[in-house]
Amino acid sequence: MQERLVDRHPEVPADQLVAQMTPPPMFDEVSFASYIPDPKQPSQAAAVRKAEDFSGRVGEIHRAVNKKGLFGRRKQLSGAGLYLDGGFGVGKTHLLASIFHSAPAPKSFGTFGELTNLVGALGFDNSVERLARNSVLCIDEFELDDPGDTMLVSRLLTELSARGVSIAATSNTLPGQLGEGRFAAQDFLREIKKLGAIFESVRVDGPDYRHRDLPPAPDPTSTSALTERAAATPGSTLDAFDPLLKHLSTLHPSKYGALISGVSAVYIADVHPVTDQAVALRIVVLADRLYDASVPVTVSGAKLDEIFSEEMLDGGYRKKYLRAISRLLALSRFEAAAT
């Protein structure tokens, strides 16, 4: 019988949330040396050098913090900060994961959403105590669209930095703002007022590598063909779009990774544009977890680049929706290339 995601009800103990804060599998083996800068974009090579320099400082600060003085106390040093500012698919996550891999343990890597989920699951004080042992905290896709979450994370980073934890973060500049590079950085630094002084902002320019020399979004397949392909793919799941969306509403977003654990490919029937923002934001989280795990996605119904309406794309969460579309298209092409 064909497996369905809606039949899965994963449980993730809170004490595992910190342990699983590592880069996605596709970034397991990346390094500064494996980042290939675009010769047409000199900021990319410059960003690699800045990231390597930052990584060196992380190790120095961590060793100094853990070196006890005459009275057996750890030194009080503030962590360093690096902010990688740029568009979609220019390799910022590659550089962030390289920083993580080169830093001494303990260390943590997660998206902004995963970090807020962690605080929600463990509580603020407990999260600080667990993360304060780190040499570095790497935050991918730092988001400024929710004032409450931004203030929460800003407070968390202030506490961690004061205890010697270095912070590296990435975010995205909207495609229409790529010529206005510093605006995203200014927004970031303004929102983390107390931490602004420790962050060095580094620009990473370039086109989305996921779209370089690639064809447009694959046309959706028919529902009957979708069913046949799912049945012929071991370890895959097949769900109807609306029941899947309903199921996602019953799960905390921190469980979406466990929801797709071990799945080889995801097939979704009868996809259509969504109009409810809460539903759309759940799709964003699912798209992130699918992309992290490199799980191919195939659909029937509407094209994946039509999943969010123009009205939604023009709203406050535009950046998230564009990232989700970019990632879903990459996963759909991955499946198409395999057939």
Q: Write out the chain's pLDDT in tens, 339 residues.
A: 789 999 999 987 777 888 889 998 889 999 999 999 989 999 999 999 999 999 999 999 999 988 765 455 666 788 999 999 887 778 899 999 999 999 999 999 998 888 988 888 888 999 999 999 999 999 998 876 666 777 788 889 989 999 999 999 987 643 334 334 444 556 666 666 665 667 788 888 887 665 554 456 678 889 999 999 999 999 999 999 999 999 999 998 888 989 999 999 999 999 999 999 999 999 999 998 999 889 999 999 998 889 998 888 888 788 788 888 988 998 987 655 455
Q: What is the second-level CATH architecture of the domain 31-208? A: 3-Layer(aba) Sandwich (3.40)
Angle between helices 112-122 and 124-131 (to 10 degrees): 120
pLDDT value at residue 213: 47
Query: Cα–Cα distance between 139 and 127 in angstroms, integer?
Result: 15
Angle between helices 42-66 and 92-102 (to 10 degrees): 30
Query: Cα–Cα distance between 139 and 160 in angstroms, integer?
Result: 13
- Give Cα separations from 259 to 194, 269, 296, 326 (angstroms): 37, 18, 15, 21
**Using a CB cutoff of 8 Å and minimum separation of 24, what contacts does 142-148 make?**
142/83, 142/112, 142/169, 142/170, 142/171, 142/188, 143/112, 143/113, 143/171, 143/319, 143/320, 144/171, 144/187, 144/188, 144/191, 145/316, 145/317, 145/319, 145/320
Query: Cα–Cα distance between 85 and 87 in angstroms, integer?
Result: 7
Which residue intervals of the chain bear CATH 3.40.50.300? 31-208
Query: Cα–Cα distance between 75 and 78 in angstroms, integer?
Result: 10
Ranges of beta strands (E only) in the chain are 81-86, 108-111, 136-140, 166-172, 199-204, 237-240, 266-271, 297-301
Identify whether the C-beta of residue 283 lies closer than 8 Å to the C-beta of residue 307.
yes
Amino acid at residue number 248: L
Identify whether the C-beta of residue 138 lies closer than 8 Å to the C-beta of residue 109.
yes
Query: Cα–Cα distance between 150 and 52 in angstroms, integer?
Result: 27
pLDDT value at residue 236: 97
H/E stretch holding 7 reads none
| N-terminal to C-terminal alpha carbon distance within the chain | 22
pTM of the model: 0.73
**Residue 308, strand partner residues:** 274
Residue entry with tokens 């605080």: 119
Identify whether the C-beta of residue 167 lies closer than 8 Å to the C-beta of residue 195.
yes
Query: Cα–Cα distance between 17 and 80 in angstroms, integer?
Result: 24
